[in-house]
Structure 1
Amino acid sequence: METTRNLVLTAWMAEHGHSSNTLADAVNQAIGDLTGRLGGLDGSSVRDWKAGRVRWPKSATRAALTKVTGLSATALGFVPRGRAASAPAPPQEDPVNRRSFLTATAATTALPLPVTAAPHRVGASDVTRLRGKFADVVAGDHQHGGIRGIETRALDLSAEAVDLQGRGSTSQRVRSQLYAVAAAFTSSAMWAAIDGRRFDAARHHHERAASLAAMSGDQTIQFRIWSHAGSLYRHMGRPSDALAANDVARALPVTRRDPLFAALGHARHAAIHGLTGSRSAVERTIGHAQDAADRADPHTHRPVWMTAVCDQAELAELALSAYLSLGDFERAEAQAHRSLTLLRPSMQRDRALVTARLAQAQLGQGEVEPAMATAMGVPLNVVRHPRVAGILAAFGSGLREFAPHSSHTRAWTQYQREVLT
């Protein structure tokens, strides 16, 4: 069947500065706000709308589009099933009424349980419930990476943890745990912003997370926050600040009590040292990281974010980053293969990052054909992740510099134009 391009949506996106990817992120976030579960759209979904291949999105998507744009689906150029594209659109619903309805619906679903005569007691069950939601946020990060929806969801849950303390009486222990959970959610928002290369937002989240963590007294979440700060400054190309922030994490007593925390701190230090060009520091800290990991007791109880991220695959991935920064491409390739072998299936974002870096390591050794195959093997559902896209863009630049007139370079340029943009 012949399709008709949705010129109205295309024009709205151009007017408001949206790419296919940013509109998909915004709609995913709005779906999460309306339903409690993030949407699964990506840039290709929006391109299908623009091309007319999808003329009438699902109801939840239409409501989310209205939330993002302030316009009904028909006003955005979508055509209800069973109606020709030229048929007149029904009268547009008053956007004010629509927003009021959405607000009222959200408020209704969030109403507390009827108040009983006895005062509400905020207890351990509330903390357990929030920790379950935190585990979902961590799992979403591993699958999708730094999309705005994860950042917003984490901030909303952090606010819920803080606000809960004003809804009833609680013990000091539970109060501290609620501050720790709020700090954990905010640190996830911080990491989502780092992962999405929204560095100003990440610095703002760091300030809030550090404050909440200090009130909680929980050293494990303080470690995560300052370790993330080290990663933030590393991605910003500020190794001195990165080393200082990561030193705060490494100096916490939890790194002496649990060698696995020490291992992660050393491994992230190695990645930072790679930016300084200090081979001896990289080798030393990688060795410290492995020694600490070998001493760690696998049966020790640890926070969900720690058990989800810190393993031998993560240590190899950070060593890969360090060796790439040093230009030691042979060792970088070895660490990339090791990480890919050990990565858990759920770590989709990390697998894409390691694969893209493996392509860089192969190209650095002059292995153009294997490097091309590796780079093109990055799964299409994650090639537009900001960090993955940045690595692949750097790969393309390196390829053009290494072999500007080769057939491989022409093939990559075509692939980049047709698939990556």
Structure 2
Amino acid sequence: MGGNPELRAVMADMGLTRAALARLVNRELVALGCPGTLTVRTVGTWLAGQSRWPQGRIRTALERALNRTPEQLGFIPPRTTRPQAPPEEPVRRRNFLAASAAAAVPSTGAFRGRTVGHSDVDRLKESLKTLTALDDHRGGHGSLETAALAGADQALGKVDKTISEGVQRRLYSLAADYTATAGFSCIDDRRLDDAERHFGTALRLSGLGDDHVTALRVFNCLSMVGYQRNRPSVTLSAARAAQDSRAARRDPLLASLAHARAAIAHSTTGNRQASLRCLGHASDALGRADSRERPAWTDFYGQAELFALSAVVHQHLDNSPESESASHRALAGIPAQFRRNRASATARLALAQLGQGELEQATATATGVYALMGTDPLPPRLRTLLGDFHRGLITLAPTSAVTREWTDRVHAQGEHQ
């Protein structure tokens, strides 16, 4: 006899081991008033195809445990149990009986609506990738936040519809990732109170899902919130939490990101030595990174993004030439689909050029931010960077023609957004 691929596939989708399935069936047997005596060995005979049709009460308990008929689980009823139509039965009556029997058997899709497995989590995960791609292209905004929170609600709404602890953990993890995406959108939208609220929820959900990668993401984002609030101690504390996380210890790429964030935190206090040391750690860790599968939100990070973060560090350390060099190297490597990040690196380049007194070149570079973002509104975080550039330009050359042209361009751009 062959094996039972149908049962094996259902168990894999629902995240069930042989022992877990035996426990579920025994629980149903007890609920039916029978002894729960099913063994792991019996489950093994089912999977091997050695037992083609479980005994009556066990069959009923199995059907209740998995919300699928025995036939949907790959079992084949004995011939003696199959209704035999008399040879002389009219064709019309045979067709009617066949149609009635088919209608009485719930479809696999009907059962899947009540029992959630890994395939359902995978479908929700694909939707999250779409939101991440939208954030990379346009930046954070209210609609993205709303969609991300709706995705988290969908994941949490399925927790009670699964019988596998593994699937439940994946759903909590996915809800955490969706919620962190909503929080990151709020950072871009400069709604920092909402961002912190979402990150608190995401951190709790990541704990329920045993998801150390999303926990690191939350600490990284909380460091960004502290940076935007101009609170150096919060910025550094959150960065250190990311550095010390289990995810950073296990994955050099994530460790590199945490070190880079810590470098920015140190640079805000003017601690040059600590900043450069963290940048060195970030570069070393990135050199050890492999190509393992990671969540979609990590796709932005690589050598080019490390150059972009280095540009921020050098800007805080009043090293404009080094910041300009790092910005150029970042823009040479940031892929086109990360449009928001390219625009941010362009704004940093303009600030570095302004810091060296290159007014005309700096304004030409800053104008490129608007060209990159096209007709989409600038995310408030990006507008803040350009606001820093505008104030710096006015401070350096308040009456110059370059400043007047830039001011006119900014006003015109604002009228079109």
Alpha-carbon distance in 2 for matches of 1:247, 1:349 = 26
Alpha-carbon distance in 1 for matches of 2:146, 2:405 = 39
Alpha-carbon distance in 2 for matches of 1:391, 1:256 = 33
Residue-by-residue CA offset, 1:32-78 (whole Å, 9 max, x unaligned): xxxxxxxxxxxxxxxxxxxxxxxxxxxxxxxxxxxxxxxxxxxxxxx
1:271 counterpart letter in structure 2: I
2:275 corresponds, among 282, 285, 296, to: 282
Corresponding position of 2:321: 330
Alpha-carbon distance in 2 for matches of 1:119, 1:232 = 40
1:212 corresponds, among 182, 194, 205, to: 205
Alpha-carbon distance in 2 for matches of 1:162, 1:205 = 15
2:187 corresponds, among 172, 194, 200, to: 194
Alpha-carbon distance in 2 for matches of 1:286, 1:382 = 33
How has the CA–CA distance of structure 1 residues 383 and 149 changed in structure 2, closer, same or farther, with 3 Å as cutoff?
closer
Alpha-carbon distance in 1 for matches of 2:403, 2:193 = 35
Corresponding position of 2:353: 362
The correspondence of residues 36-47 of structure 1 with structure 2, limited to 5 A, is: none
Residue-by-residue CA offset, 1:367-388 (whole Å, 9 max, x unaligned): 1111111111212435622122
Residue-by-residue CA offset, 1:109-143 (whole Å, 9 max, x unaligned): xxxx9995798221001110011011111101101
How has the CA–CA distance of structure 1 residues 169 and 302 changed in structure 2, closer, same or farther, with 3 Å as cutoff?
closer
Corresponding position of 1:126: 120
Corresponding position of 2:312: 321
Alpha-carbon distance in 2 for matches of 1:259, 1:371 = 35
How has the CA–CA distance of structure 1 residues 402 and 118 changed in structure 2, closer, same or farther, with 3 Å as cutoff?
closer
1:406 corresponds, among 394, 400, 406, to: 400
How has the CA–CA distance of structure 1 residues 165 and 401 changed in structure 2, closer, same or farther, with 3 Å as cutoff?
same
| Greater mean alpha carbon deviation, residues 190-199 or residues 392-401 | 392-401
Alpha-carbon distance in 1 for matches of 2:199, 2:110 = 39
- For these two proteins, the number of residue pairs brought into alignment is 306
Asked if 1 retains the 8 angstrom alpha-carbon contact of 2:186 and 2:192, the reply is yes
Alpha-carbon distance in 1 for matches of 2:110, 2:300 = 43
Corresponding position of 2:51: none
Corresponding position of 1:311: 302
Corresponding position of 1:301: 293
1:333 counterpart letter in structure 2: E
| Greater mean alpha carbon deviation, residues 382-391 or residues 288-297 | 382-391
Alpha-carbon distance in 1 for matches of 2:259, 2:342 = 22
Secondary structure, counterpart of 2:190 in structure 1: coil
Corresponding position of 1:185: 178
* Post-superposition offset of 1:420: 3.2
2:305 counterpart letter in structure 1: E
Secondary structure, counterpart of 1:381 in structure 2: coil
Q: Which runs of 5+ in 1 are unaligned?
A: 1-112
Alpha-carbon distance in 2 for matches of 1:223, 1:393 = 30
Corresponding position of 1:74: none
* Post-superposition offset of 1:170: 2.3
How has the CA–CA distance of structure 1 residues 374 and 116 changed in structure 2, closer, same or farther, with 3 Å as cutoff?
closer
1:259 corresponds, among 252, 263, 275, to: 252
Q: Which has the larger radius of gyration?
A: 2
What is the TM-score when the length of structure 1 is the normalising length?
0.70
* Post-superposition offset of 1:277: 1.0
Q: What CA RMSD, in Å, does the superposition of the two structures yield over aligned residues?
A: 1.7
* Post-superposition offset of 1:390: 1.2
Counting aligned pairs with the same residue, the percent is 37
